[in-house]
Amino acid sequence: MVNLVLLATEASHEGGFGLNFNLFETNLINLGIIIGLLVYYGRGFLNKILSERRAQIEQAIQEADQRLKEAEKALAEQQENLAQAKAEAERIKASAVERAEVIREQIAARAKADVEQMKLTANQDLEAERSRAIAQLRALAVSQALERAEGQIRERLDENSQQQLVDRSLALLGGGS
């Protein structure tokens, strides 16, 4: 240790690093007095600042705990609302599916009724067209038969035969005049 002190004093004389043990040159007494006064008078001030800071921190922690509790309560309420909304959505979906099935069945029944009505209408139209065609064919057959009969009558009847036919027809109608 003595070697260290000698080494430090020699180094300080030469302009390097060293330790100075002279109390008056280093102002150790003054520093001790200032530190003592700071500790004596500053202790109350420092305690006051630290206790105020501690109170602020405790209050901030309490406020944070309160906000946490409120947030947890709000979260629970929102989760309950979400569960209710999901249940309502499922109910609406089930109702919509059920309603869609009913509507589909109604549309199918209406379409079936429309198809039956169209078949009936088509059958009626077909029957009317058939009746009209038959009537036209009958009229055509009658017309052709009359033309043929007239043609045969003209060929076979001469004036004398015509007069006898007219007389006979009049006799039948008139009763023998």
pLDDT tens across 111-125, in order?
A: 999 999 999 999 999
Phi, psi of 176 (to 5 degrees): 100, 40
Residues 6+ apart with CB under 8 A from 12: 18, 19, 20
- Domain with 137 in it: 27-147
Overall pTM surpassing 0.85 (yes/no): no
> Does residue 174 form part of some domain?
no
In a domain, 123, yes or no: yes
Asked, for residue 14, whether it belongs to a domain, the answer is no
Q: How many CB atoms lie within 10 A of CB 8?
A: 15
Q: Is residue 168 part of a domain?
A: no
Question: 18: Cβ–Cβ under 8 A, 6 or more apart, which residues?
Answer: 8, 9, 10, 11, 12
Q: Which residues of the chain have pLDDT under 70?
A: 1-24, 26, 175-177
pLDDT value at residue 3: 46
Is 9 in contact with 18 (CB distance < 8 Å)?
Answer: yes
Residue 56 lies in a domain: yes
Q: What is the pLDDT of residue 63?
A: 96
User: Residue 2's pLDDT is what?
Assistant: 44
Helical H segments across the chain, by residue range? 2-13, 23-26, 28-156, 159-174
Is 167 inside any structural domain?
no
Residue 158 covered by a domain: no
Tally the domains of the chain: 1
The pLDDT score that the predictor gives to residue 74 is 96
Q: How does 77-90 read in b/e, with b if 16+ C-beta sit within 10 Å?
A: eeeeeeeeeeeeee
Q: What is the pLDDT of residue 65?
A: 95
Residue 172 counted as domain residue: no
What is the structure's pLDDT at 14?
A: 59
The pLDDT score that the predictor gives to residue 107 is 95
